[in-house]
Amino acid sequence: MREKILLLAMILLFGTSSFAQSPVQEVGDEKEPELRAELVRLVIEDQNIRGEYDKYRKARGLFSIDDKTLNEKLNNDPELKKEFLAIIRRMQESDEHGLLRMKEIIAKYGWPGKSLVGTEAAASAWLIVQHSDRDVVFQRLALEAMKKLPPCEVENTHLAYLTDRVLLNEGKKQLYGTMLRKENGKFVPKPTEDEANVDKRRADLGLQPLAEYIRRQSRALLPKQTNSQ
């Protein structure tokens, strides 16, 4: 039950902005049920280690601080640094496992769209690729495989997020403003191409205006004044 709740929350957060209807209405309609189950397991592993990482940072006052302050705290407490780096290594190992498996899946099937694996597993595949920053060439390959599928097979949010992530990882500017950074305590878009027309590009994918997106992300991610996130 916990795994289902976790996965549903992930899909609601990242996969609700597409206006194209999925051809897969219920679990069981997908063409590759075993692959679906594997992708779900992979993303649960991905989210569990990240949840542990965030919980650890919050418990030890390492959440929502800049890199300089973080490094100072870690360097002043060798035991804290050892524990912190151990969690980082486990997260990297999880990412590497997901990366290698996604390479095999895309080589065999192309991008795992909704009719192949179902809505939740397609979202799982996307999230795993989002976390594969150590291999930008593969991220680009995955994006191009995603773009080959018809609109009903891919969430527009997934296409926008992965497009922006790949472009930024390639040293270019993003197109949709999905990737944010914290600046003076507020979230702002990372470098964005033709900022004057970003909302038009977002609208073409059925996405909310950038200002509203930033407002919602800020509410979700910035720590509250009365307690930490």
Residue 3 has pLDDT above 90, yes or no: no
Average pLDDT over residues 225-229: 34
CA–CA separation, 75 vs 58, rounded Å? Answer: 18
Global pTM reads 0.81
What pLDDT digit, counting tens, does each position of 65-82 carry?
888 899 999 999 999 999
Structure tokens at 153: 């097979």
pLDDT of residue 20: 36
Could you tell me how far CA 134 lies from the centroid of its own chain? Answer: 14
Structure tokens at 65: 């601080």
Residue 228 has pLDDT above 80, yes or no: no
Is the distance from CB of 175 to CB of 167 less than 8 angstroms? yes
Is the distance from CB of 39 to CB of 123 less than 8 angstroms? no
Q: Where are the beta strands (DSSP E) in the chain?
A: 180-183, 186-189
What pLDDT digit, counting tens, does each position of 157-192 carry?
999 999 999 999 999 999 999 999 988 888 999 999
The pLDDT mean for the chain works out to: 86
Higher pLDDT, 27 or 114: 114
pLDDT of residue 229: 29
Contacts of 127 (CB under 8 A, 6+ apart): 10, 14, 43, 46, 47
